[in-house]
Amino acid sequence: AAGVIQSPRHLIKEKRETATLKCYPIPRHDTVYWYQQGPGQDPQFLISFYEKMQSDKGSIPDRFSAQQFSDYHSELNMSSLELGDSALYFCASSWGSGGADYEQYFGPGTRLTVT
Amino acid sequence: DAKTTQPPSMDCAEGRAANLPCNHSTISGNEYVYWYRQIHSQGPQYIIHGLKNNETNEMASLIITEDRKSSTLILPHATLRDTAVYYCIVRVANTGNQFYFGTGTSLTVIP
């Protein structure tokens, strides 16, 4: 079965540079979530989109922005990178059905290293 | 979303049942209990979820107490590949709602 695809899998950037992470949800999934997991930490929610509209917002820095496109893929844009942004970034997708219970399926993650 | 409390670590002998407890004493009536696991640095993997009835699938069983203040995830025959961090999460099942990951339980299956 098709899974969530994230690209790139690994990314190395320098401080103050920008980075763009991409997420391709499971086919027919219309909801995308972004999580950040620092070294030795638990995943922290950043932001989510349902039907191309932002649906929930967590601890996403102002330097980060994200959007969901018409084909439901999503991009997380990160500017003015800091050393503390080094982390695993997970994307998850689900089929949103307005109130019914459902699970999120996670991608393999993008490992961002800021030097 | 309600907070959860899990033991930080547990061991289980290979082939035995692994019983992972979770306390969620402030859970609301419309919040579901979800279990995920994360093997090393892979993406979290969905295991099972439920509202108030016990649930079973090919991976595990979920036992929720009648007052819904706690639950237990049961892996019936643990294997070495079940070694992972297990997260118990409670959340309202509305579209786009995030998961709050707590600290989880690090399960080690011992040969």
Output DSSP code: residue A85. Answer: G
**Interval B6-13 mean pLDDT:** 97
Amino acid in position A34: W
Which residues of chain A have a CB within 8 Å of the CB of B104?
A: 42
Q: What is the DSSP string of B39-62?
A: -TTSPPEEEEEESSS-EE-SS-EE
Res. A98: pLDDT tops 60: no
Contacts of B45 in chain A (CB under 8 A): 106
Task: Name the more confident of B42 and B3.
Answer: B42
Q: What local confidence, expressed as pLDDT, does residue B54 receive?
A: 94
Give the least confident one: A17-21, A52-56, A89-93, B14-18.
A52-56
pLDDT for res B90? 87
- A108/B43 touch (CB, cutoff 8 Å), yes or no: yes
Residue B30's pLDDT is 83
Shortest distance between the Cα of B48 and any Cα of chain A, in A, equals 9
Q: Which residues on chain A place their C-beta less than 8 Å from a C-beta of chain B?
A: 4, 31, 33, 35, 42-45, 48-50, 55-56, 58, 88, 90, 92, 96-109, 111
Q: Are B100 and B91 in contact (CB under 8 A)?
A: yes
pLDDT in tens, B80-103: 999 999 999 988 766 557 788 888
pLDDT at A101: 63
The per-residue pLDDT for B96 is: 58
Instruction: Tally C-beta pairs within 8 A across A and B.
Output: 69
* Mean pLDDT along residues B40-45: 92
What residues are paired with B106 via a beta bridge?
A: B9, B85
Strands B105-110 and B9-13: parallel
User: φ and ψ at A83, to 5 degrees?
Assistant: -55, -35
Mean pLDDT of A22-44: 93
Band (pLDDT 50/70/90 cuts) for residue B77 is very high
Of A88-92, B29-33, B75-79, the least confident: B29-33
* pLDDT average, residue stretch A27-52: 92
Residue B18 Cα to chain centre, angstroms: 11
